Structure 1
Amino acid sequence: MSADSVSTRLYPAGMLNTLSRHEVERLTDASRGDLADLLRRCALAVLNSGNQGDDAEALLARYSDFKLEVQQVNRGLRLELDNAPGSAFVDGRIIEGIRELLSAVIRDLIYFDSEIRGHPHHDLTSSSGITNAVFELLRNAQSLIPQVDPSLVVCWGGHSISREEYDYTKVCGYEMGLRRLNIITGCGPGAMKGPMKGATIAHAKQRVGSRRYIGISEPGIIAAESPNPIVSELIVMPDIEKRLEAFVRLGHGIVVFPGGVGTAEEILYLLGILLHPSNANVPFPVIMTGPRESAAYFEQIDRFIRLSLGDAASDRYEIIISDPDKVARRMAEGLEQVRRFRIENNDAFYFNWLLRIEREFQIPFEPTHERMAALRIDPGLPTHELAANLRRAFSGIVAGNVKPDGMRRIREYGLFEIQGERDIMVALDELLASFVHENRMKLPGGSAYKPCYRIVS
């Protein structure tokens, strides 16, 4: 046991009271599948909440002797932790917010495993079936709150950003909070923490009682982007595709701050959906914003989008530089359009049912060397299909950068190869090179970034 480790017993938070014997066995017995290892990795990430670092393998290696056992006792459930990160405790007692996040991890993992995956009533191969599964997971997490006007703003952006960019995200969060808007992020540090931090002050000033700071993660990324301390509602979706769908089904508008490949993946996912003809009239405000120092970043993102997806794609977003007040005002105006549209079309405020998401954006993409090399990146494709393949390319780079399975594949088989139409490949290479140059691929302080990809034109 290391000096910064704690071993203890505790009871989960109220959101998690009972499990069946079969569920407990699945959570603790590795011979019954991968759920026990999944729980261990996600729990360790939550217990590491607030600490800097985006190397999932390094975290697992540092706490290689960490164990978590879910036990049935006469009062319900008890968790036994061995060699857990000491930063999660104060005077030997777990921090209450971390206890809640830990309970949310168990809740979400066991619900998907027991009630959705392999269940005859859930078809995870059809588009409607996947959307229903996302709905069920969000409902089970008690994140779908009816009879409340649209107010949830998804904030995307990188975990490795400059101090000026981070401070700017806080001011934007503050301005949105003054307008009583709530925040959803990917739950990690950087641009995922800043808007929540700003909103907390504004909500306190406005005496907002039902404030919400929702973090949506998935098992592959949570160790690299441990939940920040402000997250009050954690939702762990089973894969990146369902995580992305949860953002756009639950959120009412999106603000994009500077980021790296993960943010580019999110942008392409969103535009690929919004550019589908069926979504042409669905209001969904999208604002890209950053401080004056980030103007060149968004110019390059805008050029890449126009080159690859066409000028029509730029009609679905607005770029605002160095004006947090305008960002908040424009988002509030956009959410009012969303409210009116959903009333007129009898769509729920709490889940965006009318947004059409094609199956190619929903089926999990496992980035192997063969699949990455086979991606078709061709301007002759329908725009939303090209966006889907570009999204997969960025998803593979994210995996190679920070996800344990992706990092292992790069070590064993070398770099991912991404190939396609020459002009798009040149622009993609330039975009990725700028991310590397601006330290957007990994948090500073560790070893120098080594690309996990090779662009072939």
Structure 2
Amino acid sequence: MAPGEPSGKGGPAGLAVCVFCASSSKIDRIHVDLAAEVGAELARRGHSLVSGGAQVSCMGAVARAARAGGARTVGVIPEGLVSVEISDEANDELIVTPDMRSRKGEMDRRSDAFLILPGGIGTLEELFEVWTARVLGMHRKALVILDPTGVYDPLRELMNGLAEQGFARPKIFDAIGWTGSVDEAFDLLERSQPRIEATPEDYAEAEL
């Protein structure tokens, strides 16, 4: 399999969808309910789930709903967070990694597509890492932000401003889908998007 090719680990007809989302217990219930809706739709469409391996907040909600619908779930959690985020032992496969870097690498390796829900700095770190790699042509997996309540509106405004000032190239938006609809999010993931080819200028300049 060529680098960046989808792995097809979701099964014959499905994708292994990596969902990045919050593990905080202090967020509004609407976000936990959204995660549960995502898990249910993922299962309904015949996909499998790759997530952060915690049983709390949105991470737990998406995995429980996916399993309730018959989907296979894989959790990846660093050993330092096993007790903090409370690892979800009900996952079909639970992988404990030495640290956060290896956690993200394992999640990336096992995934065919990425879905980002509202979250904090950890979710943003994961988003920017896979978004940057997509823009640079290091993978061609679909990447979609699902944000029905506008949590990421300031982020979108910031990224538009960076592009307008020349700090980011306009084509960064070709590398990502952005929607407020669960159905549309999965439609975008399944349809995927054309590969964004990197140019020599992308590597010569620090900015994307």
Q: Give the TM bin, normalised by the shorter chain.
A: 0.7 to 0.9
Q: Percent identity?
A: 19
Letter in 2 for 1:313: I
CA contact under 8 A between 1:170 and 1:195: conserved in structure 2? Answer: yes
Please say which structure displays the higher CA radius of gyration.
1
Report the counterpart of residue 360 of structure 1 in structure 2.
Answer: none
Report the counterpart of residue 42 of structure 2 in structure 1.
Answer: 176
**Which has the larger displacement, 220-229 or 260-269?**
220-229
Report the counterpart of residue 3 of structure 2 in structure 1.
Answer: none
Partner Cα separation in structure 2 for residue 214 and residue 381 of structure 1: 37
Between Structure 1 and Structure 2, the one with more helix by share is 1
Matched, 1:250 2:100: no
Report the counterpart of residue 332 of structure 1 in structure 2.
Answer: 190
**Which has the larger displacement, 144-153 or 155-164?**
144-153
Q: 198, 202, 218: which one pairs with 2:65?
A: 198
Partner Cα separation in structure 2 for residue 146 and residue 224 of structure 1: 29
Partner Cα separation in structure 2 for residue 176 and residue 304 of structure 1: 30
Could you say if the C-alpha distance between residues 167 and 151 of structure 1 is closer, same or farther in structure 2, counting changes exceeding 3 Å? same
Matched, 1:383 2:201: no
TM-score by length of 1: 0.37
Count of residue pairs brought into register by the alignment: 186
CA contact under 8 A between 2:9 and 2:16: conserved in structure 1? Answer: no
TM-score by length of 2: 0.77
Partner Cα separation in structure 2 for residue 259 and residue 250 of structure 1: 21
Could you say if the C-alpha distance between residues 218 and 147 of structure 1 is closer, same or farther in structure 2, counting changes exceeding 3 Å? same
Q: 147, 152, 157: which one pairs with 1:298?
A: 152
Partner Cα separation in structure 1 for residue 157 and residue 9 of structure 2: 38
* SS in structure 2 of the partner of residue 158 of structure 1: coil
* SS in structure 1 of the partner of residue 30 of structure 2: helix
Could you say if the C-alpha distance between residues 304 and 212 of structure 1 is closer, same or farther in structure 2, counting changes exceeding 3 Å? same
1:212-361 to structure 2, matched below 5 A, reads 212-228=72-88, 230-276=90-136, 278-279=137-138, 282-291=139-148, 294-295=149-150, 297-306=151-160, 307=162, 309-321=168-180, 323-334=181-192
Partner Cα separation in structure 2 for residue 166 and residue 190 of structure 1: 6
Letter in 2 for 1:286: L
Superposition deviation, residue 149 in structure 1: 5.3
Matched, 1:162 2:25: no
By relative contact order (CA 8 Å, sep 6+), the higher-ranking structure is: 2
CA contact under 8 A between 1:177 and 1:199: conserved in structure 2? Answer: yes
CA contact under 8 A between 2:143 and 2:177: conserved in structure 1? Answer: yes
Letter in 2 for 1:302: R
* SS in structure 1 of the partner of residue 84 of structure 2: coil
How large is the Cα RMSD of the aligned pairs?
2.8
* SS in structure 2 of the partner of residue 330 of structure 1: helix
CA contact under 8 A between 1:186 and 1:216: conserved in structure 2? Answer: yes
Partner Cα separation in structure 2 for residue 159 and residue 219 of structure 1: 15
